[in-house]
């Protein structure tokens, strides 16, 4: 892949990425590295499934140079003073044991609340605990909030048992692919469950990942942001200096930047 690094880095206040699945063969670590090398930010949130420990356990280590370079880039950023917050997901849930600690300058926590430049407060979480809620959405609608809280706890234990039996995590994302005709309904239910959670938390919106479906929308006055993934879509969520949120579609953006860089080079050749 030819590097198309822009002359000036993209500057954001905050960047959110998740579902990079490093250690999994399908991870687009090459594109992710390009994005990281092209941008500067004050705070970087790693919203879960950063390292795919589940996949590495099942299929063995698939760790290439680019996977290593991504980790090195993130650690170097933390050393230089970028605030890096890591919220483990279900594929790297072993890291949840370290919640509350700061390792190599990286804060590890289960959830965070991010305050945007314009004062809006966003709950930041991976979102896997809502798999079961989505699966049983009709039941939840019937039985209400207590059932909902119970299901979130049950999901954790179901997957603990699956892990002990060496079965893969019951993944909503994988499930979606098998039931494409219902996928849109599942995504809608997942979004509803998270918006419900954000409302309970009394914040203005939320940032999550997990279902590999980037989205930025408002639902019942709350902001739902999903930063997507780096296996299929290569997307991130970014906050500008003024607090404006947007989705970064790296495959599209790198084309634009590449074209601009080429045009700049041509201009300079002409001038010379």
List residues binding Mn ion (CB under 5 A): 49, 89-90, 128, 210
Angle of helix 250-271 versus helix 29-38 axis, rounded to 10: 50
Distance of closest approach, residue 20 Cβ to Mn ion, in angstroms: 11
Counting Cα atoms < 13 Å in the Cβ hemisphere of 94 gives 10
Tokens of 111: 């959830």
Nearer to Mn ion, 38 or 90 (CB): 90
Of the pair 212, 254, the CB lying nearest Mn ion is at: 212
Which residue number, 97 or 255, has a Cβ lying nearer to Mn ion? 97
Q: Which helix (H) or strand (E) holds 190?
A: helix 180-201
Contact 222, 214 (CB under 8 A): no
Nearest to 96 by CA among 11, 147, 160: 160
Task: Give the shortest CB-210-to-Mn ion separation in angstroms.
Answer: 4
Q: How far is the CB of 18 from Mn ion (least distance, A)?
A: 8
**Three-class SS of residue 222?**
strand
- Name which of 39 and 53 has its Cβ closer to Mn ion: 53
Residue nearest to Mn ion (CB): 210
Q: At which residue do the structure tokens 């299901």 appear?
A: 151
For Mn ion, the closer CB: 83 or 175: 175
Tokens 């979606």 identify what position? 176
CB of 131 to Mn ion, least distance (A): 9
Q: How far is the CB of 90 from Mn ion (least distance, A)?
A: 5
């Amino acid at each position: 892949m030819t590097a198309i690094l822009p002359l000036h880095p993209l500057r954001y206040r905050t960047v959110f990425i998740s579902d990079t699945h490093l250690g999994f063969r399908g991870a687009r670590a090459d594109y992710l590295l390009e994005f990281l090398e092209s941008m500067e930010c004050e705070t970087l949130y790693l919203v879960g499934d950063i390292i795919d420990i589940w996949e590495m356990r099942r299929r063995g280590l698939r760790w290439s140079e680019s996977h290593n370079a991504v980790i090195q880039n993130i650690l170097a950023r933390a050393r230089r003073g970028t605030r890096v917050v890591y919220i483990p997901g279900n594929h790297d849930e072993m890291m949840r044991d370290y919640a509350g600690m700061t390792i190599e300058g990286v804060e590890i926590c289960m959830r965070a609340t991010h305050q945007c430049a314009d004062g809006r407060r966003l709950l930041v979480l991976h979102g896997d605990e809502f798999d079961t809620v989505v699966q049983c959405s009709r039941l939840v609608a019937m039985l209400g909030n207590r059932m909902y809280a119970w299901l979130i706890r049950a999901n954790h234990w179901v997957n603990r048992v699956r892990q002990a039996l060496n079965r893969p995590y019951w993944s909503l994302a994988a499930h979606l692919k098998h039931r494409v005709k219902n996928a849109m309904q599942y995504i809608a239910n997942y979004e509803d469950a998270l918006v419900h959670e954000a409302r309970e938390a009394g914040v203005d919106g939320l940032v999550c990942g997990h279902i590999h479906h980037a989205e930025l929308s408002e639902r019942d006055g709350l902001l739902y942001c999903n930063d997507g993934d780096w296996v299929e879509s290569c997307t991130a969520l970014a906050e500008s200096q003024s607090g404006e949120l947007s989705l970064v579609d790296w495959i599209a953006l790198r084309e634009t930047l590449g074209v601009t860089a080429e045009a700049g080079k041509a201009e300079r050749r002409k001038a010379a």
